[in-house]
Structures are given as structure tokens and as C-alpha cells.
Structure 1
Amino acid sequence: MPQDRPKLLIVEDDEGLQAQLKWAYEDFEIVSAHDRDSALAALRADIPPVVTLDLGLPPDPDGVSEGFAVLDAIMALKPDTKVIVASGHGAPESALEAIARGAYDFYRKPVDIDALGLIVRRALNLHRIEAENRRLALRAADDNAVLGGLLTGAPEMMKVARTIERVANTGASVVLLGASGTGKELLARGLHDASDRAGGRFVAINCAAIPETLLEAELFGHEKGAFTGAVKTTEGKIEQAHGGTLFLDEVGDIPLPLQVKLLRFLQERQIERLGGRSPIDVDTRIVCATHQDLEAMIAQGGFREDLYYRLAEIVVRIPSLAERAGDATLLAKVFLKRFAAEMNPAIKGFAADALAAIDGWGWPGNVRELENRVKRAVIMADGKMIGAEDLDLEAAGDDEEMPLNLKRAREQADRKVIRHALARSEGNISHAAKLLGISRPTLYDLLKQYDLQS
């Protein structure tokens, strides 16, 4: 027998009818259950796309209460399941209630095997179509992925990604400048993966999260007995990344004495562990990131100028999420799909007020703030659509300062609105044109005029 037959869960307490149904579906792998517990256990274990459910289950075989309880539980656990409900009790009322509770279809007993078979196979086809649509939607999101896992449709961020790809194999030291939550570590990992060091380790350390007294040992390692508690020799992060890449996040927080030792490593490509006497050759590429103004810190004596020029052979400035028009909506939809699948499958999407709020919000916490808000909304939302209130956002007006030149102001506004429409429509030109109230040819002309085509 073929091993890839679709599964059909039959929830029926009549053993004779259960056997009859089982033999009627030779092209399905049949899973049977006779009560709520066995039905839900089968649902969890086998994840059948289609379920036939008799509403008259024990302990209420002459009523419908237990059957509806099973239906509610299935919809809560796996809302994409196609449930076909059967009953001989108060059929019209039961049918309406079953559909209202999420059932795919309803049939009245006694069972007509052929008619039920048509319903079952139609339900399976619909389940497959919906599953394929979800896969295509996720693939569409992946089409916006650049540099490994970075998702963007904004030209500003595409430019950053292309810059990093160009310098990946040069061996140059790179400094990523950007606010908290803009994706600096993601870009650093993308640089590593795009380089000829991809076979080596990518090691990350947040210099602001480690006390000054421990940071030197974390970076350079220590020999056994170097200090109280050093019970064994330990490699530091620089040594661990030999042959790969070390990402120093918040490099501006490295204290001055340790900056000297880091500069010496960059010049000589050798380290000495704490308590050690022999230099160790290390081939590690350094990539740094910070939200601080390092040049201002140099002027104030807080950062060494010679170290800065060793680290900052290439400086890449990362735009904030607010500067990446359309990306907030794009990313929000991706986060929603991920978190809904993991935590709340009943969530289907964003309501119109939520999309307007996402477009209008300034996102001071950037992508990290967006991700956290969507995650919280998915967990806490009561309905199927997430609203602005679930995100704890209110639709905001555009307070961004516009240029005084009327032509430039219009061009700036056009660019922003077109990007938002493309993000809302997930790149579908026809849908975006409808949102904008223009024809497809006009939108194509504008995309070409404003160089918004990818």
C-alpha cells in the first residue's frame, strides 16, 4: 500500500458504522476514535487534514453537546483542519451551529457513503490548496530575503546588503553603525556567511553586557590559575573565532586599557591569554557594531583614534526601520506568520487599522520593537485578526519633515506611499495599483521613474 496516503480521522462511537466508513476510503489512511479523549489524542499524533465527526458521542450519545465540545477543541488546536460534522439530532439547527463554530460541512444521518466520500475528497483538496497558498506566501516573504536572512524591500537596506556582500571576501575590518534593534548582528552574520570564512565559526560578544573586570578574560582567555576561580585554561572569544569571524557588538563600551590590547592584536595578529607568557597566532576577522558616535568619543578621549582606524576600514551605516518605508509592514506579516504557527494558529492576519498603525508608527525600537509587539499581539489577541489595539499602537500621522521644494516633496511622498502599497500587497503589482487608485501601467511608469524596481 502507498505510504503517502492522506489521513482521515473518523470520530464515531458506532463500531459498525466506523468499520463501514473505514472500508469506504481505501485511498485514505484511516484513524479511528470513539470519544473526545481518543479523538484529540489522534489529532495531536496524526494531524489529519480531514475529520468526520459524529456529534452524538458519549457521554451524550443522544445529544450534540459532546460532539460540539470535540469540534471546539479541534478548532482551537488545529483550525486549518476540515471537519465534516454528522448528526441526526435537530439537523438544521445543528448544521448552522456547526458551521458557525468552524466546521467545513455538515451531513445528516443516515450516512450516504458515496455522498460523504465526495465531501471528504473536496475537503482534502481545499486543505491542500490552502496549505500550498501558505507555502507560496512564505516563499514570497523569502524572495525579500537578502544576505542570508535579512528581510527587506527598501532600497536603503538593499544598498547596505550589497555593500556588505561586496566587502565580505576582502578581509577588511567592518564597523556597522546603527540604532539598537536595526539588525546589526544579523548583518554581521550575513557578512560572515558570504565570506570565504563561512566554514569557520561566527562568534558574537556584547561588550556592553559584560563587566569590565571580566571582559578581558572573555576576549583573550586565561591560563589555569591566572586569577581566583581560574581552575582550567580557557580560550577567549578571539581564539574561538580562529579561521572565522568575531562580532564585537557595542564596541564603544570597551574600556581604554583593553582597547590597547585589542589594537595590539589587530596589528600583530597574536594574543596572550591572561596569566600566559607565550604569544598565540590567531587568524580572526573582526566585525564591530555600535549605536554610539565613535568619532565624538575620540574627540572626548573615550575611544582611541588608532584603534578606530584599524576597526573602521569599512563603515556601514544601517538605516532605522522608520527610514525603510514599507519594511515595517513586510516584517510584521512575516513575524505574524511565524508566531501564529507557533503560538496561536487562530490568528489569520492584520486588520486594516493595525496596518495603518504599523505604517504610521515611528518604531523607536526598530525591528526588535516590531517583533516584540507582534509576538505579544499574537499571544493576547482574542479575535482572528490583530487590530491596532492588540499592538498597543494608534494610527499616527506623518510628522516627518518634508522638503520645502514642492516637486521634491511630492516625489518623496509618492515614493513612500508606493513602497507602503507594495508592502501591503506583498509585491503584487495589480493589488498595489488598486490600493493606490491607479492603473497597472501608471504604477509601472512610477516604479521606473522613481527607480523602485528591484
Structure 2
Amino acid sequence: MSTILIIDDDDQLRISFERLLKEEGYQVCTAASGEAGIRMLTESIPDLVVLDVRLPGINGLETFRQIHQIEQKLPVIIMTAYGTTETAIEATKMGAFDYVIKPFDIPQMLSTIAQALEAGRFMRSPVDMDVAPDKIHGEAIIGKSSAMQEVYKAIGRVSATDATVLIRGESGSGKELVARALYQHSIRSQKPFLVINCVAIPDTLLESELFGYEKGAFTGATHRRVGKIEQASGGTVFLDEIGDMPMGLQAKMLRLLQERSIERLGGRETIPVDVRIIAATNRDLEVLITKGQFREDLYYRLKVITIWLPSLRERTGDIPLLADYFMTRFSGELGIENPGITREAMSMLVSSPWPGNIRELANTLQKALIFNRGAPLSLTDIAQATGGDVKNLHLTEDACDDSIRSWIRGLLSRGTQENLFENCMDHFGSVMVAEALNLTGGNRSQAAKLLGMSRPTLHAKIDKYNLKIETSVK
């Protein structure tokens, strides 16, 4: 449950606002002055602060400065009357998440609060990489495959720079986690991190959301508003699904990347901005360019650094690790013991196509756990969670061949890679050895016979692939 601190000297508003937020499921604490709010912060850090500008004693702006001295990544929403809009804009440029004009529209305020809480979680929740499931403390990027090792290397090399990054991969492959990892390991990690989904926001609102607007820019624009680009001053903006950005906005985005400046909607003032742009898409931008649906000049500005995320079909060897991670995580969230997964069910997880990638795998395991009765997840549990039956979990040989070819084409399309053939063969070899050992219950002699090799050769393969398999028969 998220905790929200309200700092406002208006007793009636504070009490009614507290009641509203509690009805929405939030834990709420309140303070009638900046000094009281600061004291509460020193005792316990909430997830969000909603702060009025005009306060007795120290004003809202000074209160905000002290809040960020205590916890810089704590999101703060400023509340203001019409007469103090410029003060609120100043606070926003200093790092406030947003500002809201009193009296505020309740649904809009609740939406802003939800966005601020999500932004705070993104900034403060660590994204672990390449660690064992039992060592993970939050969300994580999981995988030991060679494709994922390349992703880790890219994050390590790029995060310390200020370069624009384009993350490409299928839907559900983990692009947002990579963006957050880049932010958290960057020189801007103590500044804001804002996420804009170019699909979720209607085209008519996306421009004002990104760049803000001037008073009178359109009907209902009763005051100046700062956009997300300005709000993230000194920090990072993640543009998710940029392949769906309208063409008209692409020109403004190109100007931002070229000149590091923007203009608010309805304004003529050129405003310098200091933000790092990370973008992501599951669309084929090259095809969109040929169709005239994406600007080629913007494409080259975005792809200063490109990070390709493999689909789950391209790294099936990582599925047991991912399954272990999600089983541990969801069991903890549900307050139940981790029941584990049967060998047959795990084999089906590995052989399934997963068009929705990691997101689909996670949803399947979470659903299976919710309806599980304590026994290890079986084929039937997985089938029911995917809305099908057991036979639908099996890939035909042709479909399996198609998946292998797709994976290989994806690797080859990335250009020359050192030892690519040997790495692919090692990948297939490690999967075959692991499956042979699983099918034989860990009996190395039987597994060696299945694989058509001697027992010493099998031992050498186990050592080479660093397979950690519990065996009941040596």
C-alpha cells in the first residue's frame, strides 16, 4: 500500500482529501505546515508528497527544497491557486513531479497521483541484472544466454554516457526494465526519470503532455503548463513505443535531439532543456520509413546506440531461470510457499512459443499459482493458465524448426559477431545435455546413451556448460 503525505494548511481541504485518498486504498498522513511535514519525513519516508505552495512559516518552495535534501527521488506534486502558477512552474523546473491548480478535478488529480507513484517506484526500485533468483531484491533482468550477455555488456557500456539510446524488441521482452537499468546506472540517476507511452496517450494530448502549453493555446488552457520534457530537467525521459508517435510530433522530437530546446504549444519562446532521451519500440522502423510513417532523420538521431532485446523464442535456455524467478516473486506476493514446477511442466514452458514473451510467461505463472493448491505446477496447471489444453502446449517439429530459423535469422541480421557459430552450437548443446539429464532423472549413464556419447564426454559437457543440476543417481 502506497503512503501519501499531504502538506496543506487548509483544514477542510486536507481532511476531505485525506478521506478521498483513503477510499482509493492509499495510506495517508497529513501536516498543516512545512515544518511539521519535514519532521514527519525525517521519521518515515512516504511514497509521495502533495504540497501546497502557500503555507504558514516556511513556504512551499522552501519546504520542497528541504524535502529533496532528505530524499531526492521522492516525487512531489505541487498544489497552487491561480495567483501562484509561476511559483509552481519554478518548483517543477527544480524537480517537482507536477503541479495542480486549485480547485482541482478529482479524477485528473487521482490520475496524476497514480503517475507520480509509478514514477517514484521506477526511480527508487532497483533493477538487478545477471544475478541468481535468490539474490534478487526487486525487479530484475534475467538470463544467462549469450544474447542476454550482450545486453548486459551494452547496458554497462552505455549507461555511464549521455548518448541517446534506442531499445528494440518484441512486445513483452523487457524494454522498460532495460531503460530503467540504463537510468539507474547513469550519471543522471539522482534526477527525474519519466515514462511517456506514445500509444497510451491520445494524439491530441501527447504534444501538450510532452512539451507543455501556454495560457490561451487552446480552449480550456487557462494557465501555462510545463510539459514532461521540462519536468525531467537534468534527468531522463523514456519514450515507450516511439514508433507510434504521430508524424507532426516527430519533427518537434527531432528539434529536441538536435538543438536541445523546445517550444510550448501556443508559444514562441525557445526553451533550452537538459534531458537524456531513451526510446523503445516493437515496430519495424525501417519499414515505417519506407511507408512515410516515420522520419528517417529522427530514426538516425534516435539510434546513436541501439540495444536489441531477444525474444523468448531466441533464448529458451533462460526460461527455467525466468520461471524460478517469477515463482519465487509471485509466491512471496501471494503469501504462499513456492510449490515448484514438475519436469514435464517445465519442459512445456521451454518448448512453448510465447508470442507475448516474458510478460506472457509471467502472467501464465502468476495465474497458475493463484489457482494452485500447493502441489508443484503440472502440465494441467500450465494448460489451464494459458486457456488451452495440454496438447496445445506442444510445438510440432515444423513449428520448432521455424522458431530455430527465426532465432538464427535474428542473430545473423545483427552483422558479424565473433565466434557466433560456436556460441550457437554451445547453446544447443547445453539445452540438449540439460534435457537428457532431466529426462533420465539425473542418471548420467542413461543421459550419455541418449546423447550417443561416452560418460566422460558428458561430464566434460556438463563442466563446459556449467550446468547446475540436482541428481538422484550419479
What is aligned with 1:260? 251
Q: How big is the shift at 1:246?
A: 0.8
Where structure 2 has 5 or more consecutive residues not aligned to the other structure, the ranges are: 1-130, 409-421, 449-453, 469-474
Matched, 1:315 2:306: yes
Q: Which shows bigger deviation, 219-228 or 263-272? A: 219-228
Query: CA 1:338–1:410 in structure 2 vs 1: closer, same or farther (change >3 Å)?
Result: closer
Equivalenced residues, count: 306
Q: Whose Rg is larger? A: 1
What is aligned with 1:191? 182
Q: Report if aligned partners of 1:207, 1:248 keep a CA contact under 8 Å in 2.
A: yes
Q: How big is the shift at 1:411?
A: 5.6
Q: How big is the shift at 1:224?
A: 3.2
TM-score, normalized by length of structure 2?
Answer: 0.58
What is aligned with 1:210? 201
What is aligned with 1:445? 460
SS across alignment from 1:288: strand
- 1:181-223 alpha-carbon deviations (Å, 9 max, x no partner): 0000100111111111111111111101111111101111122
Choose from 294, 300, 304 the match for 2:295. 304
Q: Report if aligned partners of 1:173, 1:287 keep a CA contact under 8 Å in 2.
A: yes
Q: How big is the shift at 1:417?
A: 2.8
Distance in 1, Cα, partners of 2:254 & 2:366:
41
Matched, 1:396 2:373: no
Distance in 1, Cα, partners of 2:330 & 2:461:
35
SS across alignment from 1:400: helix
What is aligned with 1:415? 430
Runs of 4+ displaced beyond 3 Å: 142-146, 407-413, 418-422, 431-445, 447-453
Q: How big is the shift at 1:445?
A: 3.3
Distance in 2, Cα, partners of 1:370 & 1:294:
26
Amino acid at match of 2:133: A
Matched, 1:286 2:277: yes
Q: Which shows bigger deviation, 259-268 or 342-351? A: 342-351
Q: Report if aligned partners of 2:316, 2:351 keep a CA contact under 8 Å in 1.
A: no
Where structure 1 has 5 or more consecutive residues not aligned to the other structure, the ranges are: 1-138, 425-430
Distance in 2, Cα, partners of 1:278 & 1:241:
19
Distance in 2, Cα, partners of 1:289 & 1:247:
8
Equivalence map 1:41-440=2 (5 Å) = 140-141=132-133, 149-343=140-334, 345-392=336-383, 394=390, 395-397=393-395, 399-401=399-401, 413-418=428-433, 437=447
SS across alignment from 1:324: helix
SS across alignment from 1:345: coil
Distance in 1, Cα, partners of 2:431 & 2:203:
44
Q: Report if aligned partners of 2:175, 2:280 keep a CA contact under 8 Å in 1.
A: yes
Distance in 1, Cα, partners of 2:253 & 2:275:
12
Calculate the aligned-residue CA RMSD, in Å. 3.4
